[in-house]
Structure 1
Amino acid sequence: MTSYLELTDVNKTFGDFTALDGVNLSVEKGEFVTFLGPSGSGKTTTLMIIAGFEKATRGDVMIEGRSISALAPHERNIGIVFQNYALFPHKTAADNVYFPLQMRGVGRTEGLKKAEEMLGLVGLKGFSHRYPKELSGGQQQRVALARALVFEPSLLLLDEPLGALDKNLREQMQIEIKRIQRSLGVTTIFVTHDQSEAMSMSDRIVVFEKGEIQQAATPLDIYHKPQTRFVANFVGESNLVPATIVDGTKGVARTQALGDCDYQPAAPLDAGRPVSLLIRPEHIKLSRQPIDGRKNVSMHVDTIVNYGDNALVIGNVGDQQMRVRVLGRDVVVIRENEDCTISWPSEAVFVIPEGKGA
């Protein structure tokens, strides 16, 4: 079965610089997919190629099995919202939302009625006669979203639309965008470099690095089962420990700092294969004494960073730095420059074979 949106072997070069190298991606109808990655990783370039503002050097973009690569942006029936909103300052909120309908030949009476309905959907009922300068940043963002949705686009593209908002408003708008997307069922591509934003909003996350897709998976799989060292490091906090497989069937790996560590193998790996062991900080228990049934090692505490509701304990096991995330009330069991025991169960260890995005 053909996916709703399909990118096939998409490449983009600017002179000698390769911005995208063989991007392949399928997006299902109604999905909320987030492009996540650092600046310059290729996520926005991919979005602009889908929108038609950039032309791929090679490859194809299809919607419902039909190539749109040769179509101009206005011919693609795609809604897009940028970080700067790009509202017309001389037009009211209603007229801003009506504008794309006007360009499609919809009469003013009918168009303004649809604009009013869309403003109501985004929580701006009663704001139709206000100008952009009379609206807050969050309200302007909602107007831009309404304008992108009013003509019932086949696809909605959001290029870091929340970047200019403060933390509280940003979190509020994350919830609102997801609510609106679900209510309309519109297929959505969202670009961000913010991990928490991607984790909280997405059906799937596509992680970009150096013009390539490192991994495309659900938020939980991206976090708990990263396929490359880059994904493990970029998404969330991580302890990545160099190791060598001792028994790939039973799940035993040997490290220099932590000794032998058990893990639960997803697939057999050859003995002697170099790997990295991922142990998320929140899966590690900090205590004064060893805990039965877990891997226990002694750690010297260097730094404790207290965030109130939780604390980050940073220490060393030999030459290996380890990070432990504990509840704020639990940090009283240890102080800086003291020794403690850290422990974890085998199911907390995820193995990343070397050579995969290392």
Structure 2
Amino acid sequence: MTQKSSLDVSRRSLLLGAGATLAGSALLPRMAFGQSPIKAAGIYTVPVEQQWVSRIHIAAEAAKAAGQIDYTFTENTANTDYPRVMREYAESGVKLIVGEIFGVEQEAREVAAEYPEVAFLMGSSFMPDAALPNLAVFDNYIQDASYLSGIIAGAMTKSGKIGMVGGFPIPEVNRLMHAFMAGVKETRKDATFQVSFIGSWFDPPKAKETAFAMIDGGADMLYAERFGVSDAAKERGVLAIGNVIDTQKDYPDTVVASALWHFEPTLQKAIANINAGSFKADNYGVYSFMKEGGCSLAPLGTFEGKVPAAAMDLVRTREAAIKAGTFTVEINDTEPKSS
């Protein structure tokens, strides 16, 4: 497996916002005196800069800085190599493996069964299996924040035509798109949507070209589920809504709002359970909900004061109700279609 040199890790830390990561680590519980950090590894099929994986990586780096885990990682792991890398880490004495097995579900679960002493916390489209007690699953259930970003998008579009570019039509993407669309309808009932999937998790040029086509079709607001979409919006002078990470500072005149995923609650729950000896097959997806601190709406930055007041009032009202449990954003995992 490919290990990162200290120089590579430092470079990546800067790209991923190391300052925020280390500052956040100060808020995490420290390891108890005499308790050794958990030896942990991340296995990722894409670069750690990619939106979804970056959130896992940042949370792991923060836990490492807090002394909770001894963390290393491997990126750009092909699905065909994934089981092998899992085995190599397990054989090396790693006690917690975190990653994403969407394209290698069966093989990954077979490997986990071979190493019952290792805790596997894996992004998955499937639920946990009680017969495999050492593998827990998670997902980015950030539909709450996606819905709120949709309210803002509906208030900011002039044409009412919105383009949506996703990676693959899988539940992890579908539910966020549906929630966003529901939010848009709150402030722009006549809105229409162009929906397209590029068939890749990391292909900014293809995402950009797909977004250009949507703009040519009249879209003046884009849902940037993938990297490359906001670049197209910037070049053509239309607006965009971000997903999973906050790119407002990179696109100050383009990205109005973003739905953020915070992996920290998920990872912290796993670490606590491992230390307590109670880690088991479970669905950690619930720790991505807004009421658990797993997602939020990013600050508006340069768009502060530019979103209609009525829309922001609705955002605040809905956010409070979501956290209180009196308003529930629907989780719809079916593939979204163009209007």
Q: TM-score, normalised by structure 2?
A: 0.25
Q: Whose relative contact order is higher, 1 or 2, with alpha carbons under 8 Å and at least 6 apart?
A: 2
> Normalized per residue, which structure has more helix?
2
Query: Which structure's residues are more often strand, by fraction?
Result: 1
- Work out which of the two has the higher radius of gyration on C-alpha atoms and give 1 or 2: 1
